[in-house]
Structure formats: structure tokens, C-alpha cells
Amino acid sequence: MTTTKLLLPSEQLEALLRQVPLFAELPLDEIHRLAASMRLLTYPVGTLLFIEGDAGDRLFVILEGSIAIIKSLGTPDERLVNVRGQGEFIGEMSLLTGDGRRTASARTAAPTRLLELTRDDFEALMASRPALAHQMLRVQSRRLRDAHDHTIRDLHEKNERLARAYAELQQAQAQIIAQETLRRELRLARDIQQRMLPQRLPNLPGYTLGARMIPAQEVGGDFYDLFELGGGRLGVVVGDVCGKGVPAALYMALTSSLLRAEAGRSASPEQALRALNRHLGSRGADGLFVTVIYGVLDPVARTFSYVRAGHEYPLAWAADGTPIPVPSGRAIPVGLFPEPILESATLTLPPGATLLLFSDGVTESRGVDHALLGHERLRELAYGSHASSAEALCDELLATLAAHQGAAPQADDITLVALRAR
């Protein structure tokens, strides 16, 4: 900070004093007296002249430049009260108030030249020139009125800001409520969807059964079903609606219900799936389709007769881990064409054999390095498993999937259905 205090020739100082409205009417002898006692100060921009709360014993008259009057300087409540310019005076409050403290801070807003008047000289001047005191009182009154108006305006602005903040708060609260409602409804949808899956697997003598479905989102497009058919037979379904979320879940619910109804009255799995395709086609679900494998396990004949509609091929293996050949025919998902190409086949499951149906969420499970689990790895895991039951096999595979996935997000629904012949 550069401060220059100059003692100018009295003629020059008198000329400057004449330019100040407050002193313009003073007689020559008073001007002489003032010129003898006042000092000329020069400050660069940004100079802090005094700080609110400090003791003040002098008044300044601005000859040139401008000074910002600031309340609560350096605090979150800092506020510019006013900017005083040429011909105005500052610092008079501490000379007028009883405690002599600065009521605001002052900082130069431009290179500024000031005249400095001490408390003693100020009081002497006021005593000798009541008209000057009167004029000063008028200025003070105007400043008080301005300050009052400013305070009112400030209050209005604060009220408006408060009202806006309150409205925003209400809006945010409404959004939070809507999001919470949506979350609650999704949780409810998930519960409903989970309840659509078999709550208890059928008891099939000579077999252990296991099934797991882990949706990637609150609700998913995968589903499975195991239901008793006549003659001790068991219907087994795994399906995957393309997509995730609520649309896929609704389509999944529709597909699952229709297929179970058709399974009960169809002569073969293929007939049931063709009927399902007609139902879905007639409902015209835009862009949605479903891959399905539906089979009938005959525990007496030890066969699994199935139809596949664009779904993953099943895996089957003997007790010693030897793969049981599975036809690799071609088939198209249900819902794509009016008459889909389907693949029907029958597998024989000797004692100790295991059958695994799964969705592509298993083989497409991705690790943090984006590597897919893949079909080859799944076959290795399945054929090499020593799990004691179908359910244990599902849990073992899920644990391996979780380890493979690590911290990576689950990309797709994961479904496993296993049957093991005793």
C-alpha cells in the first residue's frame, strides 16, 4: 500500500476546500483555519482506510476517487452499503457517536485523494459554525434515509430469495417423495415378481431340484417355472425377455402365465410354445420378444423333452462329469415371427445325471476387466462341480459368478435351474 501525506501550500489547499460542498459557504477565515489543520492523503485502489469496530478519531473528505463503505467485511454477511465519491465525506459517524467506533469499513474503490480532519478540529469547526453542523445533519439525515431504504430493499430481496428457496425446497421434497414412491413401487413390483416364481420347488421323487433368479435391476425380464403335470411329470421353464426394467417384467409376467396355462393343455412342449407365440403376437408388444426353453421331465422314462426358442442350449452331464450330448439345432425367440422356427429334442438322464438350464446373464457375466464368463467356462464349472445337490450346484455357480463379477455391476438378469437324478 502506498500512502502519501502532503502538506500543500495553503493557497492550493484552500482552493481544494472550496470545491467541497460542505465547506463551500465557509468564510475565508474558517477556510484558512481548516487549511492549516487538514492534511492531503493519497491512496491507491484497494486500500483499507479503516475497519468496522475500530476506534475512529478523524473524518475524511474525498477530493478525488471513490470509497466503498462495507458492512461485516470478510464475513459471509459482507455487504456493500454505498460508494462515496468526490466532494463527499466519510468517517463522521465515529466522531458523532458516543463510543467513537467505526460503524462500517472503508476501502478505496479507485486511486483516491482525501483530506483528513481530526476529531478536535472537527469539533471546533462544528462549535464555531452551527450552519455547518446543520448542513452535516442534513447529509446525515439523507444517508440515514438511504440506509433505511436500502435495508428495506435488502429485506425484500431476502424475502424473495427465501420464498424462492422455499419453493425450490418444496419442489425438491416433491421429487424426493416421487422418487421414494417409485422406489417403493419398484420394490413392490420386485416382490410381486419374486412371488410369481415358484415359492417352493415341487417334490419330485428321485430328483433334487434347484433354482435361482437374480435380477440386474429391481425387476427383471428373466423367469423360471417348475410345475407338476399329470403322470408325475414336471414342467420346467426358463425364459428371458429381451430387456430389463418394468416393461420386460410385465412381458415376463404375461409370458409366464400364458405358458403355464398352455403347458397344461398342450400335447407337447412345442405345441405349448407355438400357442404362446400366437398369444404374444396377437398382443403386439412393441419390440419385445422372449427366448424360452420349456421341457417336460418324465421321471419314469428318465427323459427331458424340451422345445427351445432362441434360448441358451441346456447343459447335461453324467455323474462323473462326462457331458451328455445336447443337439445344437437352430431356433428363433418367441414373439419375433408369426410362426417361429423351434427346436425340439429329448435328452436321457441316467442316475446321477444333472441338467442345467440358464439365461445368457450367466455366460455374459462380466468382471471388472469386462471379460465375459463365457460358455466354455460355464461348461468347465458345471462338468467339474462336486456339488451335493441341484440346489448346491446353483449356489456354487452363483458364488463363482459373484467372484468373477467382483465390483463390476451386474449387466443382466441371472437365472439358473438345475435338476439332478439320484
Partner 1 sequence: MDIFVAQAQGRVPVTVFRIRGPITSNVELEQQARAAYDAGARNILLDLSEVPYIATYGLRALHYIYTLLRTSAPEESDAAVHAGISAGTFTSPHLKLLKPSAHALEALKVAGYDMFLEIHRDYDKAIASF
User: What are the residues binding partner 1 (CB under 8 A)?
Assistant: 221, 240, 242-243, 287-289, 291, 310-313, 330-333, 336-339, 341, 360, 364, 370, 372, 374-375, 411-412
CB nearer to partner 1: pick between 150 and 379: 379
Contact 98, 20 (CB under 8 A): no
The nearer residue to partner 1, 312 or 391, going by C-beta atoms, is 312
Distance separating alpha carbons of residues 69 and 86, to the nearest angstrom: 14
Question: Grid coordinates in use for 101?
Answer: 467506533
Q: Which of 313, 383 has the CB closer to partner 1?
A: 313
φ and ψ of 26, to 5 deg: -70, 145
d(CA 155, CA 159): 6
CB of 331 to partner 1, least distance (A): 5
- Name 288's Cβ contacts closer than 8 Å, sequence gap at least 6: 241, 242, 243, 247, 248, 251, 335
Classify burial at 139, counting beta carbons within 10 Å of its beta carbon; exposed 0-12, middle 13-18, buried 19 or more. Answer: middle
Which residues, in sequence order, are CB contacts of 268 under 8 Å at separation 6+? 305, 307, 344
Least Å distance between CB 320 and partner 1?
Answer: 27
110's CB contacts (< 8 A; 6+ apart) are 45, 65, 66
Tracing cell 474525498 back to the chain, one arrives at 62
CA 416 to chain CA mean position, Å: 33
Of 104 and 316, nearer to partner 1 (C-beta) is 316
- Residue pair 121/37 in contact (Cβ under 8 Å)? The answer is yes
User: How many angstroms separate the Cα of 154 from the Cα of each of 70, 81, 143, 149, 176?
Assistant: 14, 10, 16, 8, 32
Q: How far is the CB of 192 from partner 1 (least distance, A)?
A: 22
The C-alpha cell that represents 318 in the structure block: 453324467
Which residues lie across from 157 on neighbouring strands? none
What's the Cα-to-Cα distance from 117 to each of 52, 61, 124, rounded to whole Å? 19, 8, 11
Say if CB 282 and CB 298 are below 8 A apart. no
Yes or no: say if 280 and 258 are a contact pair by the CB < 8 Å rule: yes
* Distance between CA atoms of residues 46 and 63, nearest Å: 17
Q: Specify the 3-state DSSP secondary structure of 66.
A: coil
Residue 334 gets which letter from DSSP?
A: B
- The answer to whether 213 and 223 have CB atoms below 8 angstroms apart is yes
By beta-carbon proximity to partner 1, the closer residue of 143 and 366 is 366
Phi, psi of 110 (to 5 degrees): -165, 165
Among 279, 213, 284, 290, smallest CA distance to 248 is for 290
CB 252, min distance to partner 1, A: 12
Kindly state the smallest distance separating residue 311's Cβ from partner 1, in Å: 7
